[in-house]
Structure 1
Amino acid sequence: MGPTTPGGSYTIDTLVTGCQIWVRVPISDTDSEDRKADILSIRTINPDNDYMQVDVDEPTKDFYLHFVNFNKRLDTWLNAKHVLLDREVTWPKPQKDTQSTPSTPKATSTPKNANNASLLRKAATKAGKLANGQKKRKLDAPMGTPGAAPATPITPAPPSTQAKDAGGMSSDEDADGEADTEPDVGTPLAKPNQQPSSTFSKEEEIEKLRTSGSMTQNPHEVARVKNLNKVSIGAHEVEAWYFSPYPLEYAHIPTLFICEFCLGYYASPKQLERHRHKCTLVHPPGNEIYRHENISFFEIDGRKQKSWCRHLCLLSKLFLDHKTLYYDVDPFLYYIMTQKDETGFHLVGYFSKEKESAEAYNVACILTLPQFQRMGYGKLLIEFSYELTKREGKLGSPEKPLSDLGLLGYRAYWGETILGLLMSMGDEDISIDEIAQKTAINHADVMYTLQSLSLIKNFKGQHILALNDSIIENYERAAKKQRRRIDPSKLVWKPPVFTREQLRFGW
């Protein structure tokens, strides 16, 4: 961080991205808390947006903040009225100007003005694209084709001319049309007759997120800023945790309204109400393979129900930081857990798995919606995934890396399952391989669990499994708690078999 100045020496308009400020965060209707936060992004509220709740008495500027020493999922947009101007502010570290050397041509010396540097980069980029286009046209023209003009060298115009020719949105503007105020660090200026190796464009990056489905092109620049505050699904209103590539017109609205059956998204409750009069779905569009009490599981082929599965992935990306695919759903099967009542089957959580996994993963992505967390549904999802693995006669493991909450859930399930098996075996000998075969947990996860519980001991030159009194007491205490379990007799399912033609995706 850069220098720190005392309170009262700055205004809202002087704050920039990268500053560390103090804000008063509302905890409830009556309570609030002062927190230190980093400014990750700044936006100006458009009062003409029909879906934005604009108070005429509030400043028209919002800050996207990461609270220091808090989890990333608590990052949020706050209005400028919450900034404590009487507290100190830490400014971003100033950038060092690169001085030109005598051997450096004058045209490539670093301008002192950042805007000139940006214009020069754009000029070089456009010149390179034009040159590549000429070469491509020359190569594409058949040999001896009359009228095929020879490629001529392209001389870049001065920066001012190039800036006028570019038109539209510049490469340094984000999807909201706001200029990126962050200086480019460590990006060398390209020579006028040379195309830069890479030029980052937030507009192009967000377009990639919406079309290619990958969240990993440049997560530091785009995916770090949450674009939705809340989502309303069914009778629940939930705060979003992370960025999700919903269409741009839905970004920055106070609440996104989602149909709990078809997962379509709408900007206002009136639009959702009109949709519900037409929507005929009352359960996920797949085969029901399990029903016990009020819990049901549906199996959905991503190739057959692309639209529904893409909507599901958009929704889940709001709560998963590591999810990387939402558009390419063909290679996956989705297993949806629902809760049944008189109005239909309501989405509780889901997991997906590859139709053909080279790494023998039995779960690619798993999520319990936040409104149903801490109710035992996470373990139920994990247990169901291993029940399917047992039916397949295989060993399974979730795809890595796991999210923080996913890792906690799997650790708890592995420990409870393996301890339950060891307790039921009594004094009988059992090997690591036998534990894996009986639980369908692969050997690496079994070893990890045994080591984390300190169950592996060295006795007379051999490794043995030893349960101490504290572990037994903790297990018996947990076993007394009543929780939902999967009843294998209620599962009506055979492992699907796909032909080579059915496994050919993207054609």
Structure 2
Amino acid sequence: MAPREASHEPAGTPAPVETGIATLAQLRAGVKAFVDKDGEKRKAEILMIQTRAGKPKFYVHYEDFNKRLDEWIDAARIDLAREVEWPAPEKPEKKKAVASKADKAPPKVDPKNPKRSRAQIEREASGTPSEATSSNVPSKIQRKDSELLVTTEVTDGVTPKPEDEEMDVVDIQDAAAAAKAMPDEEYSREDEIEKLRTSGSMTQNQAEIARVRNIEKVQMGKFEIEPWYFSPYPIDFIDVDMVYICEFCLNYYGEETQFERHRSKCTLLHPPGNEIYRDDYVSFFEIDGRRQRTWCRNLCLLSKLFLDHKTLYYDVDPFLFYCMATRDEHGCHLVGYFSKEKESAEGYNVACILTLPQYQRKGFGKLLIDFSYLLSKREGKLGSPEKPLSDLGLLGYRAYWQEVIVDLLMDGRIEANIEDLGAASAMTTNDVLHTLQNLNMLRYTAKNQHVVVLTDAVLEQRERQKAKEKVKGKRSIEGERLMWKPPVFSAASRTWNW
């Protein structure tokens, strides 16, 4: 084994950051500079540089801010009078140097096994893994990553048959920070699929292209929307100023003439599923991912523009999509949706949930959450959303859980314990416990028994919320309007179509 290089830095000490004055020509990806943002100078990392109309454009991420604020900026907004931070040198070069030193070490011959080849002896002496365990695995993983980027290009037309598919799109959660912190490992195909399904990371090693928002603007109905995150739409859309999305069939086009020609022929006026709920305000449609693959894939691509913690895979078969829409004389307009596994081993009642940005801050998110728990009550199960939640999703669920639990306690119709609260609200005991702890409503007696306490602060907050609801009006889901029975699926329709 080759000796390790001596390090004069104490263990755990971060590497020193190299700073200095830079010119515009010296800026590159990875450099951190101060950028003018809303009249203030904020530190931002340059993720990508492009030349448009002969002028450089910089895609930057502001430190300590959500990725949805990432944007393309002009060179004039970068403060070159202040020092910039240069990116740390790449570590693989250091590993190669260490490996080259190890190659010089004399090989050791095992007298018990003299028939080994010289190549095997040299590999052992240098510490280099054999081809069977090293070189083939990374190339296999890289090939899978490239396939994912290719298969995410959805084509218009008839829904493909199951035997024509390799991968389908699935909304699965992702903790980006956790994915970055995970060490690189080698996986079999089955292990990799399971890891991606449960962790939701777009690839095992997040591609740099996924850090850059690839769509500038989206027109959907009468709204023009600025996307927040990367979504694997066809690569041709990178150069267009506007992507046109049909608000009924969710097909997407890069040219307005193509979109207008499609609109003149499109006959769909509502999500392609069964309407299972209708009141004076909204309707809910249940859509089977196996029956409407193309529409559900388009929905997943659209939602990825606004969900950083979700990953798309081309298998929507194991999922049901519950889409909420408002109605007018032109049709049913998609407001938001949540997806749900047909058979969840963990008992999740929501896999992915989204209110489109043009309808946010209007109470639709609460209706989506309330409807998901109404389905759980009809099924006779306790439900919980798939973790981890996005930042906005966590805020929405916390507000809903707080309102439901406080109202149940104020009504006084059930016992003030965690199990009864969960049964009455179709919430899991973990979610009830999390809410009570977050509101500081849980006390413990000398006998180590928990007691639920309604504090004055919680009561005052709920009263203020009720006063606002009287002024603005409160909308809620009416259980008696739900025309739905829990669906029963065959084993084939619940599995992944791989």
TM-score, with normalisation over the residues of structure 1?
0.74
Q: Report what 2:58 is aligned to.
A: 63
Deviations 1:357-387 (Å, cap 9, x if unpaired)? Answer: 1111100100001111111111110000000
Q: Distance in 1 between matches of 2:402 and 2:369?
A: 13
- Give the distance between the partners of 1:272 and 1:189, measured in 2 at CA: 55
Q: Which residue of 1 aligns with 2:366?
A: 379
TM-aligned CA distance change 1:189 to 1:83, over 3 Å: farther
Q: Percent identity?
A: 52
Q: Which of 487, 492, 496 in structure 1 is aligned with 2:487? A: 496
> Which one is further off, 329-338 or 223-232?
223-232
**Aligned position for 2:475:** 484
Match of 1:336 among 319, 323, 327: 323
**2:77 matched residue in structure 1:** 82
Indicate the residue corresponding to 1:4 in structure 2.
19
- 196 and 393 in structure 1: CA distance in 2 versus 1, 3 angstrom threshold: closer
- Separation of aligned partners in 2, 1:196 and 1:2: 36
Q: Distance in 1 between matches of 2:47 and 2:41?
A: 18
**In structure 2, do the counterparts of structure 1 residues 441 and 78 end up closer, same or farther at CA, with 3 Å as the change threshold?**
same
Larger proportion of helix: 2
Contact map agreement 1:216 1:324 (CA 8 A) in 2: no
Alignment correspondent of 2:159: none
Contact 1:202 1:221 survives alignment (8 Å): no
- 1:454 lines up with 2:455 in the alignment: no
Equivalent position amino acid for 1:282 in 2:
L
Higher relative contact order by CA 8 Å / sep ≥ 6: 1 or 2? 2
Offset of residue 300 of structure 1 = 0.3
Structure 1 counterpart of 2:432, one-letter code: V
- Equivalent residue, structure 1, for 2:300: 313
CA spacing shift, 1:459–1:253, aligned 2, 3 Å: same
Is 2:3 aligned against 1:16? no
Q: Does 1:218 align with 2:205?
A: yes
The amino acid of 2:227's aligned partner reads: A
Amino acid at match of 2:19: T
**Unaligned 5+ residue runs, structure 1?**
46-53, 107-152, 156-187
Q: Is the 8 A contact 2:60 2:72 kept in 1?
A: yes
Q: 1:91 corresponds to which residue?
A: 86
Q: Which amino acid aligns with 1:92?
A: P
The whole-number CA distance in structure 1 between the counterparts of 2:129 and 2:76 is 42
Pair 1:450–1:191, CA change in 2 (3 A):
closer
CA distance in 1, matches of 2:402, 2:26: 53
Deviation at 1:44, TM superposition (A): 3.5
1:23-422, aligned counterparts within 5 Å? 23-25=35-37, 32-45=39-52, 54=53, 59=55, 61-95=56-90, 98=94, 99=97, 104=103, 195=135, 197-199=137-139, 205-211=145-151, 212=167, 213=169, 215-422=202-409
Letter matched to residue 378 of structure 2 = R
- Distance of 2:254 and 2:142 partners within structure 1: 24
Partners of 1:286 and 1:298 within 8 A in 2: yes
2:185 alignment counterpart: none
Q: What is the DSSP-based 3-state SS (H/G/I as helix, E as strand, rest coil) of the residue aligned with 2:59?
A: strand
Q: C-alpha separation between the residues in 2 aligned to 1:71 and 1:195?
A: 37
Q: CA separation of 1:273/1:463 partners in 2, compared to 1, >3 Å: closer, same or farther? A: same
State the Cα deviation string for residues 456-500 of structure 1 (Å, max 9, x = none). Answer: 223453422221222111112212313210011111111111122
Shift of 1:351: 0.1
Deviation string for 1:64-104 (max 9, x for gaps)? 21112221211122243433333432222235764466652
Quick one: structure 1 residues 285 and 81, their matched pair in 2 at CA, closer, same or farther if it must change by over 3 Å? same
Is the 1:361–1:399 contact (alpha carbons within 8 Å) kept by the matching residues of 2?
yes
CA gap of 1:253–1:84, structure 2 versus 1, over 3 A, is farther
How far apart in 1 are the matches of 2:229 and 2:143? 19
CA separation of 1:463/1:2 partners in 2, compared to 1, >3 Å: closer, same or farther?
Answer: closer
Paired residue total: 407
CA RMSD of aligned residues (A): 2.8
- Distance in structure 2 (CA, Å) of the matches to 1:237 and 1:494: 37
Unaligned runs of 5+ in 2: 1-15, 106-116, 120-126, 152-166, 170-195, 197-201
1:200/1:230 CA distance change after superposition, 3 Å = farther
> Quick check: 1:205–1:218 contact (8 Å CA) kept in 2?
no
Cα distance in 1 for partners of 2:73, 2:285 equals 39
- TM-score, normalised to structure 2, is 0.75
2 CA distance for matches of 1:486 and 1:283? 20
Distance in 1 of aligned mates of 2:303 and 2:381: 28
Name the CA shift for 1:230/1:34 in 2 (closer, same or farther; >3 Å). Answer: farther
Structure 1 range deviating more: 412-421 or 246-255? 246-255
Instruction: Name the CA shift for 1:189/1:376 in 2 (closer, same or farther; >3 Å).
Output: farther
Contact 2:278 2:481 survives alignment (8 Å): yes
Deviation at 1:393, TM superposition (A): 0.8
Runs of 4+ in 1 over 6 A off after TM superposition: 188-194, 200-204
How big is the shift at 1:439?
0.6
Rounded to whole Å, the distance in 2 between the matches of 1:455 and 1:192 is 58
Q: Which moved more, 1:199-208 or 1:291-300?
A: 199-208
